[in-house]
Structure formats: C-alpha cells, structure tokens
C-alpha cells in the first residue's frame, strides 16, 4: 500500500508543479505587459495578479516583493527574446544576411520588452531597493545581446575596432527603440538598418 500511496503522491505532485510553472509564467508575462502599458506607478502586484487571473496571495507566493516580480519578468522575456533571435539564424549569418540580422537586433528594442525595461530603468533611478537589481540585470542582458550580435554577424573581436562597432550597432538600436516610443518610426528605421548593414559589411569583412 505504501508503494501505491507514494506513486499517487508523485502523480499528484507533477500536475501541481506544472500548474505552478504555468502560474509563474502567466504572472511574468502579465507583469511585462502591465509595465509596458501602465508604467511602474500603475503596475502593482494586484493589477498584475488580476491580469494573470490569479489571486494576490498566489502572486506573492511566487514573488514575495514587487521588485522580485518585475525584475524577474523583464529577465524572463529578455531570455525568451534572445532564444527567439538565435532561432531565426540557427546556423549563424552569412555576410549577405547582415541586413536581416541588424533588423532583428533593432526589433529587440522596439517591442513591449523594451518598453517594460525602460519603465523599470526609470523606476530604478528613484528606487534604492530596485536599482542594484536592475543594474545587474541590464549588464547581464547587455552582455548576452552583445554575444548574440557577435555570433550572428560573424564578427572577429580580436580585430581592432570590431568590438566597438558591434556595441555601436546595439547603442544605435536602443536609440531607434527610444524614438519609436513616441511615434512610428518604421520608415526612417528601415533606412538606418540598411545603412548600418552596409557599414558592417565594410567593417567586418
């Protein structure tokens, strides 16, 4: 009987773990969406929990503090976007694909993730408890994005100036993302992407 009971406990525990993971993911996605739409001031744990369809108690079980919730949410989506970006070019990018790579990198900074991260950065500038978490997160995400860019562009960073060229591309992409917050900047963005792709072909080959 003891073996049957243990097996039943395991069978019950697996769905519970699955439900717990699903709840956590819903909370993370809802937090990013709220932050992108309402900013830090309008994104409370209660608002996020309601959007995710869970109780406030369940939300606080997974994320004891508001800072825990929002830093985890931005990190989660950043990792998802990094995975999606790599999947677009699973074999890396040949020289002829650089325009597509530049466009994909720019897209990282024009979606809800960037909006959410921006709200988090602004909040961190005024929230002492939040600042070290966001600073560490931004540094880690920045390093990962740089590594992805180097891989996809086939850049040799042992050559003088190549590292700075790749970082300049990412800084430019962030600037385009900021411009896109106020107005649809798609036309100018396409021209800038084409120019950067041409510059990279000259600098990296």
pLDDT, tens digit, for every residue of 61-102?
A: 999 999 899 889 888 888 887 787 778 777 766 555 888 889
Beta carbons within 8 Å of 97's beta carbon, 6+ residues apart: 89
Closest CA to 171 of 201, 149, 203, 198: 149
Q: What percent of the chain has pLDDT over 70?
A: 89
The average confidence (pLDDT) of the chain is 84
pLDDT at 56: 92
Dihedral sign, CA of 63, 67, 72, 77? positive
What's the rounded Cα separation, in Å, for the pair 200 and 196? 6
What's the rounded Cα separation, in Å, for the pair 41 and 51? 16
Count other C-beta atoms under 10 Å from residue 83's C-beta: 10
pLDDT at 159: 92
pLDDT at 45: 93
Across 180-205, average pLDDT: 85
pLDDT at 47: 95
What's the rounded Cα separation, in Å, for the pair 189 and 106? 9
The per-residue pLDDT for range 93-152, each reduced to its tens digit, is 655 588 888 998 888 888 888 888 888 888 888 888 888 888 888 888 888 889 989 988
pLDDT at 4: 52
What's the rounded Cα separation, in Å, for the pair 106 and 3? 56
What's the rounded Cα separation, in Å, for the pair 59 and 50? 10
Give pTM, 2 decimals.
0.76
Judged against a pLDDT cut of 60, whether residue 48 lies above it is answered with yes
pLDDT at 97: 81
Give residue for tokens 């080959």: 205
pLDDT at 185: 74
């Amino acid at each position: 009987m003891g073996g049957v009971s243990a097996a039943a406990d395991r069978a019950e525990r697996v769905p519970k773990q699955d439900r717990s993971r699903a709840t956590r993911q819903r909370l993370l996605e809802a937090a990013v969406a709220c932050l992108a739409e309402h900013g830090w001031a309008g994104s409370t744990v209660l608002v996020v929990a309601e959007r995710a369809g869970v109780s406030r108690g369940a939300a606080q079980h997974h994320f004891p503090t508001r800072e825990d919730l929002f830093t985890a949410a931005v990190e989660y989506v950043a990792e998802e976007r990094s995975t999606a970006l790599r999947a677009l070019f699973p074999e890396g990018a040949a020289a002829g694909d650089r325009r597509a790579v530049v466009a994909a990198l720019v897209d990282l900074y024009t979606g809800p993730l960037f909006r959410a991260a921006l709200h988090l950065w602004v909040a961190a500038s005024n929230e002492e408890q939040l600042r070290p978490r966001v600073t560490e997160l931004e540094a880690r995400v920045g390093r990962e994005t740089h590594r992805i860019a180097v891989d996809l562009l086939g850049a040799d960073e042992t050559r003088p100036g190549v590292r700075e060229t790749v970082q300049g591309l990412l800084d430019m992409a962030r600037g385009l993302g900021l411009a896109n917050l106020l107005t649809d900047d798609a036309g100018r963005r396409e021209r800038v992407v084409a120019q950067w792709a041409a510059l990279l072909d000259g600098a990296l080959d």
